[in-house]
Homo-oligomer: A and B are copies of this chain.
Amino acid sequence: MSTHAIHSDALAQKLADSGLRNTPQREVVYDALLTKRDHPTADEVFVRVKPQLPGISLATVYNCLETLVQCDLVRAVNFERGPTRYCPNLHPHAHFHDETTGATHDIELPTTLLAKIKAILPPGYDADAIEITFRGKASAPR
């Protein structure tokens, strides 16, 4: 069984759960995110899937990415000003944005800390999601 098949099984499942159809476009877009987990932009995903599905349009890439976000298979990440980036890591994590290389690294986020962070919210504030982003330099070659 190919990794592609594994991916599309998980995808098909989640799509079905949301009452959405599985399509070749959605498969290749999701596969592109899983294959190279470097937080690509929609444009970058577009060039990566083009060879596998030459007829695909940029609008469709946007549509597919949005669908994957809705299905909770992918997280959309925004750094200041720049284009939205997409991340298939579903574990709770923060992002470190390296200012020198432009690369983005996932940082594990312990659930105990996550709880402590949520605890600073005053009563009446109910958070659906938390986004934590570091900016700086990573001296260690990763």
Asked whether A136 and B127 contact (CB < 8 A) given A113-B120, A121-B107, the answer is yes
- The contact of A117 among B84, B123, B132, by CB within 8 Å, is B132
Contact B120 A117 (CB under 8 A): no
**A116 close to B (CB within 8 Å):** yes
How many chain A residues touch B (CB < 8 A): the figure is: 39
Q: How many copies does the complex hold?
A: 2
Let me know if A127 and B134 touch, CB within 8 A. Answer: yes
A78 within 8 A of B: yes
Residues of chain B within 8 A (CB-CB) of A94 are: 120
Interface: A37 (CB within 8 A): no
Asked whether A19 is an interface residue with its Cβ less than 8 Å from the other chain, the reply is no
A105 to B135, CA, bound (A): 22
Q: Is A53 positioned at the interface, with any CB of B under 8 Å from its CB?
A: no
Q: Mark A120-136, 1 if CB is under 8 A from B, else 0.
A: 11111111111111111
Determine which of B107, B124, B137, B138 lies in contact with A140 in the assembled complex, contact meaning CB atoms within 8 Å.
Answer: B124
Cβ of A6 within 8 Å of any chain B Cβ, yes or no, is no
Closest to A78 in B: B80
